[in-house]
Amino acid sequence: MYNIELNKTKFDVKLDSFDKKKGTINGKEFKIDYSQNDNEYHLIYNHQSYILEVDTFDQEQNLIILKINNEKIECQVSDDIDILLKQLGMDKLSSKKVNDIKAPMPGMVLDVLVDVGQTVKKGDTLVVLEAMKMENNIKSPIDGKVVQIACKASKAVEKNDLLVVFE
């Protein structure tokens, strides 16, 4: 079973376990015919032809942006496991907001590469930390704005010491 939200309209889709070209949408039976060429599908549904292409797929947010006959459409998709996790209240566990960066290990701060007020992107190096004679680049896990720097170059830090705080 899949829950699909398309243009703010919700659909419950169940595919036949033996033939994925048929099933039900909101309890009403459907059958499609399709062929695939690379990332593009040619669908025939209710005697109408559609060219469907997957433009963007964000697995973390279950978001798919489709191009249907060259028109972009946002599609939110949830499968059986997503539905069960939501029913159990466990659907938001991995979406905890990151507000700060802590030292992953004890070491010496070699360099702080950001300033308070600076906007950073996910993956930008914030701090260079030397531990066990190796330089470790501490990177931003999010896009955000730096509001506090709690470490200084040439100063030692312990594991879990606060390094950088985000807005």
> Alpha-carbon distance 18 to 80, whole Å?
17
43 compared with 83, residue with greater pLDDT: 43
Encode the chain in three state secondary structure.
CEEEEECCEEEEEEECCCCCCEEEECCEEEECEEEEECCEEEEEECCEEEEEEEEEEECCCCEEEEEECCEEEEEEEECHHHHHHHHCCCCCHHHCCCCEEECCCCEEEEEECCCCCCEECCCCEEEEEEECCEEEEEECCCCEEEEEECCCCCCEECCCCEEEEEC
Q: Of the ranges 3-7, 43-47, 92-96, which one carries the lowest mean pLDDT score?
A: 92-96
Say what the pLDDT of residue 134 is. Answer: 87
Nearest of 107, 102, 105 to residue 159 by alpha carbon? 105
d(CA 55, CA 77): 15
Domains of the chain: 2-94 (3.30.700.30), 100-166 (2.40.50.100)
Give the per-residue pLDDT at 94.
Answer: 53
Looking at residue 138, its pLDDT comes to 92
Please indicate whether residue 43 or residue 151 has the higher confidence score (pLDDT). 151
